[in-house]
Amino acid sequence: MPADSTLAEIADVIRAKQRFVVISHIRPDGDALGCTIAMGLCLRALGKDVQMWNDDGCVERFHFLPGSNFVTQPPAEPQEFDVAIMLDTAVKERGGRCVKAVKHADMWINLDHHVSNPRYGDLNFIDTTSPATGQILFELFRAGNLPLTYEMADNLFVAISTDTGSFQYSNTTARTYEIGAELVRLGVNVGEISQRTYESHPRRRIELLKAMLNVLRFTSGDRVASFALPLSTVRELGTKPDDTEGLIDHIRAIEGVIVAAFFEELEGGLVRASLRSKPGGVDVCEVAAQFGGGGHTLAAGLRMRGTLAEVQEKILQAIHDKLPRH
């Protein structure tokens, strides 16, 4: 496995090159999109030619982020760049169509915090102790003396807040709070941005949560909670892919539950699984890795072929096998 580059080395490349594309993973969360926009705005402030791509574009619930209008889906015609920057993307393929839309890049930079990241870039900085890639970007901007504007601060705050459960998860460190304070000094309005991030859901998302709670299932002596979303429910409610973001936290919060799992039927015979564990429970990254997925110890995911019922049973059995014995 190649050694990581330093943040200073990455900053030097950013200053030296001109044509950039910034990419994050499919089904983007706040960390992915916040980082994409913050990095793109930094490059624009340096006078670089930059494009910001995501397979899904900028999903609806993050349209309020300053600079979100710059995030587009990748073009049909592949393009050439000096540098392609991958953010918060554990494996390159998770960039989806964006990766294929890069006809050529002289260099790939890989910035991430997932323990399963194989360091696929020409330059890599993988900090698995960081709770969010947004925290890594903040350190890059400061260490490299790169621009850090108010608009970038909003994006970084959302990136860090969403990946730490609003600064509540066990991966939150003293440094995370220090960075949060610095972002507030740069102009982040915590009340407003938190309201827009966590308290502005469309009604269809609440209808989806109601449907999911109706099929909530407990297994392994009530230590595992799960629900499954068939395509028929998606079509009936008219939900969008991003509407499922965070629903798993409702069942992870149940007293006595150690692991929560969310299974979502996709087109083409695929099922997407999201796994969450409480501290001291199960290393869900190890579970996901059994089926070609990855992530973090307490939060991981995967996609696999099969029916919704088949995938659910296989993964629930794998979780059960990892549960601590009484």
Average pLDDT, the chain: 95
Whether this prediction's pTM lies above 0.85 is answered by yes
Inter-residue long-range contacts of 229-232, CB under 8 Å, 24+ positions, other chains counted: 229/262, 229/263, 229/264, 229/265, 230/265, 230/308, 231/265, 231/266, 231/267
Question: At how many degrees (to 10) do helices 7-16 and 133-143 cross?
Answer: 70
105-150 pLDDT, tens per residue?
A: 999 999 999 988 999 999 999 999 999 999 999 999 999 999 999 9
% residues pLDDT > 90 (the chain): 91
% residues pLDDT > 70 (the chain): 99
- Residues 60, 246, 241, 97: is their CA dihedral positive or negative? positive
Q: 272, 269, 264: which is closest to 300 by C-alpha?
A: 272
Q: pLDDT at residue 2 above 70?
A: no
43-96 pLDDT, tens per residue?
A: 999 999 999 999 999 999 999 999 999 999 999 999 999 999 999 999 999 999
DSSP state of 324: P
d(CA 193, CA 64): 9
284-314 pLDDT, tens per residue?
A: 999 999 999 988 899 999 999 999 999 999 9
In this prediction, residue 170 carries a pLDDT of 86
Neighbours of 117 (CB within 10 A): 23
Structural domains of the chain ordered from first start: 7-198 (3.90.1640.10), 203-322 (3.10.310.30)
